[in-house]
């Protein structure tokens, strides 16, 4: 028998952004009845637990952009939260490596951008200084970013869940939302695979499924989530333990992915990845299966084909990395660190929600839509995990203020 329950706020999605948002409302509004509906059998099962686990400093993002503001604020809030909650983390720093002369201009732009957003401890390293900072790497020059760190965001999500439950919040698992509608009393009716719930406020933090939750389907004519899968490989030889910092390439300025990089993890392991290829299944992290609904969502969107025509060269390179492990080895070895195919052990992939508009352009900033008392987080790309506590503050301010605008 289907039951019906009423809350002040229902949050769709139990990832790190949804959990941080629940915590924010419970901190600000004592006694507020907050419910999180999570489709899976555990919290944080998707983008929250399938990422590089990096605390981002904000060096890549344009000053005064929504992403930049939330990352800088979120970085500070997250560091404080990690200390308060005694969550293991490490500020190991990042080296952005210019491997070729033609990458120096972009490296300089990143340096200047970092200074403009207040990262005053970053510095350009010579080739000699680069190899002294991280033995083995070969760089024309590099950019040292001492603010960057590592953490398990799934562990952070677990602490957020415990905290919001202690404040009176509730999390229900296995509750896939199948309909969201406004009734005659101006209440939101949320129908799941098991129950029906009513609430004055609704916030959708549905990640990879965010475009499917929005009741106003006209938005889908302008935007569509295109899932991108990234493969990671664990580095199984102890020699890689000498990698003490995150090692990143100079990014492609027109593509939002940061390139294949070396990552240190809190369990002491090291990994290499990810690439970025279109995924035909939004939730298959182990294989490369096809979900007909996900495939149809991609190929029926006109903006997708414009995107393909615009970025086919980059796409071809990423497909090579996907299809040929030797290409992965070559990409890793280009840092100057010897990577052997025999040392690579396949990890679960990550899947990132990339929002593309109907003209084929990538929307890489945070996107929110508000409809009555319902706010949809349509796009929360990296560094959303780092920025989650700041995003929660912004969501609270937007929804409570009643402003019918996005960011």
Residues 238 and 131 in one domain: no
244-272 pLDDT, tens digit per residue, is: 999 999 998 777 678 899 999 999 999 99
Give yes or no: residues 229 and 342 share one domain.
yes
Structural domain count of the chain? 3
What pLDDT score does 371 carry?
A: 83
Residues 208 and 284 in one domain: no
Distance of alpha carbon 316 from alpha carbon 324, whole angstroms:
12
Contact of 298 with 304, CB cutoff 8 Å: yes
Same domain, 197 and 55: yes
Q: Which residues, at least 6 apart from 147, have a Cβ–Cβ distance to it below 8 Å?
A: 55, 57, 75, 91, 93, 119, 121, 122
Q: Residue 404 has what pLDDT?
A: 42
pTM for the model stands at 0.94
Indicate the burial class of 58 (C-beta count within 10 angstroms; 0-12, 13-18, 19 or more): buried
To which residue do tokens 């990096």 refer? 54
Say how far apart CA 189 and CA 175 lie, in whole Å: 14
Contact, 357 vs 222, CB < 8 A? yes
Question: Contact, 247 vs 148, CB < 8 A?
Answer: no
CA distance to 242, 320, 321, per residue, from 329 (Å): 18, 12, 9
My answer on whether 322 and 175 are in the same domain is no
- What digits encode the pLDDT tens for the residues 187-207? 999 999 999 999 999 999 999
pLDDT tens by residue, 277-307? 889 999 999 888 999 999 999 999 999 999 9
Same domain, 202 and 301: no
Q: What is the pLDDT of residues 215-229, one digit of tens each?
A: 888 888 999 999 999
- How would you class 129 by CB atoms within 10 Å of its CB: exposed for 0-12, middle for 13-18, buried for 19 or more? middle
Residue 171 and residue 133 share a domain: no
Mean predicted lDDT score pLDDT of the chain? 92
- 69 with 186, same domain? yes
Distances (CA, A) of 166 to 87, 161, 194, 297, 389: 18, 9, 25, 39, 18
Task: Assess if residue 31 is contained within a domain.
Answer: yes
Which residue range forms the structural domain that includes residue 321?
A: 223-244+255-357
pLDDT tens, position by position, 140-152:
999 999 999 999 9
Give the percent of the chain with pLDDT over 70. Answer: 95
263/53 Cα distance (integer angstroms): 9
C-alpha span between 321 and 151 (Å, rounded): 27
Please indicate, yes or no, if residue 249 is contained in any of the structural domains.
Answer: no
Domain boundary among 103, 123, 146: 146
- pLDDT tens digit string along 116-174? 999 999 999 999 999 999 999 999 999 999 999 999 999 999 999 999 999 999 999 99
Q: Is residue 272 part of a domain?
A: yes
Residue 220 pLDDT? 84
CATH code of the domain in which 395 resides: 3.50.50.60
Quick check: is 22 in a domain?
yes
| Nearest residue to 362 (alpha-carbon basis) of 215, 256, 207 | 256
Q: Is residue 250 part of a domain?
A: no
Q: Are residues 41 and 114 in the same domain?
A: no
Q: What is the arithmetic mean of pLDDT over 328-357?
A: 93
Same domain, 101 and 213: no
Report yes or no: 153 and 48 within 8 Å, Cβ to Cβ: yes
Report pLDDT for 253: 75
Q: Do residues 110 and 182 both lie within one domain? A: no
Same domain, 332 and 390: no
């Amino acid at each position: 028998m289907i039951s019906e329950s009423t809350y002040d706020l229902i949050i769709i999605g139990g990832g790190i952004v949804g959990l941080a948002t629940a915590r924010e409302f419970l901190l600000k509004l004592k006694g507020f009845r907050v419910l999180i509906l999570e489709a899976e059998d555990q919290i944080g099962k998707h983008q929250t637990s399938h990422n590089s686990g990096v605390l981002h400093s904000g060096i890549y993002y344009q000053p005064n952009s929504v992403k930049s503001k939330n990352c800088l604020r979120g970085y500070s809030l997250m560091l404080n939260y990690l200390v308060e909650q005694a969550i293991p983390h490490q500020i190991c720093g990042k080296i952005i490596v210019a491997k070729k002369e033609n990458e120096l201009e972009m490296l300089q732009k990143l340096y200047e951008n970092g200074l403009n957003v207040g990262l005053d401890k970053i510095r350009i390293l010579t080739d000699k200084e680069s190899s002294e900072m991280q033995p083995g790497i070969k760089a024309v020059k590099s950019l040292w970013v001492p603010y960057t760190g590592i953490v398990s965001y799934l562990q952070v999500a677990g602490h957020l869940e415990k905290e919001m439950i202690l404040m009176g919040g509730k999390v229900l698992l296995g509750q896939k939302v199948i309909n969201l509608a406004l009734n005659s009393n101006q209440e939101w009716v949320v129908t799941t695979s098991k129950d029906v719930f009513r609430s004055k406020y609704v916030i959708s933090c549905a990640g990879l499924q965010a475009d499917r939750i929005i009741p106003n389907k006209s938005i889908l004519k302008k935007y569509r989530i295109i899932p991108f899968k990234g493969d990671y490989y664990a580095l199984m030889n102890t020699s890689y333990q000498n990698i003490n910092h995150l090692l990143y390439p100079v990014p492609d300025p027109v593509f939002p992915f940061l390139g294949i990089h070396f990552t240190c993890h809190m369990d002491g392991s090291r990994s290499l990845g990810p690439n970025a290829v279109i995924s035909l299944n939004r939730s298959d992290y182990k294989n490369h299966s096809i979900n007909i609904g996900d495939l149809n969502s991609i190929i029926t969107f006109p903006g997708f084909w414009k995107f393909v025509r615009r970025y086919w060269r980059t796409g071809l390179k990423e497909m090579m990395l996907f299809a040929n492990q030797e290409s992965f080895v070559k990409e890793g070895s280009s840092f100057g660190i010897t990577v052997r195919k025999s040392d690579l052990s396949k990890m679960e992939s990550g899947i990132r929600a990339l929002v593309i508009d109907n003209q084929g352009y990538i929307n890489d900033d945070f996107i929110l839509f508000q409809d009555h008392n319902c706010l949809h987080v349509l796009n929360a790309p990296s560094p959303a995990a780092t920025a989650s506590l700041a995003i929660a503050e912004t969501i609270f301010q937007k929804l409570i203020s009643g402003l019918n605008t996005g960011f």
